[in-house]
Amino acid sequence: MPPAVTPIPVSEADLSQVRYDDAGLVPAIVQEEGTGEVLMMAWMNETTLRRTLEEGRTVFWSRSRQEEWRKGDTSGDRQYVRRAAYDCDGDTLLFVVEQEGDGACHTGAHSCFFRSFGADG
């Protein structure tokens, strides 16, 4: 049985605090509930942010394809939003998620941040 979808209640006042770049995008960091591990970073526009909060699943904007994409629709590695926040400047979002499936990275890794500078091999 998949995790429960939980929409995140949000006010227009909160949404008005988000600051988008010149392309209408804001970075969204995704962190795993329970472990605190940073899973990935992707971009959102106003529509995908609203959709994420309303649907309770992460929805992003692909800069390369110029289209929306819902995490896991193709891979099955879905992200169910448990908490959502924006930083003090309103120019970065944070989503704490329950990760379903193998992981968040398109490479098949659990986290996109599996490589370290200066690490051997």
The domains of the chain are located at 18-99
Residue 7, pLDDT > 70, answer yes
State the binding site for Zn(2+). 88, 105, 112
For 11, 29, 79, 109, the CA distances from 104, given in Å and listed in that order, are: 28, 12, 8, 7
Residue 121, pLDDT > 60, answer no
State the binding site for Mg(2+). 87, 89, 91
18-99 CATH choice from 3.40.225.10, 3.40.605.10, 3.10.20.810, 3.40.50.300: 3.10.20.810
Give the span between the Cα atoms of 53 and 84, in whole angstroms. Answer: 8
State the binding site. 87-89, 91, 105, 112
* pLDDT band of 3, cuts 50, 70, 90: confident
**In this prediction, what percent of the chain has a pLDDT beyond 90?**
83
Note the pTM of the prediction, 2 decimals.
Answer: 0.92
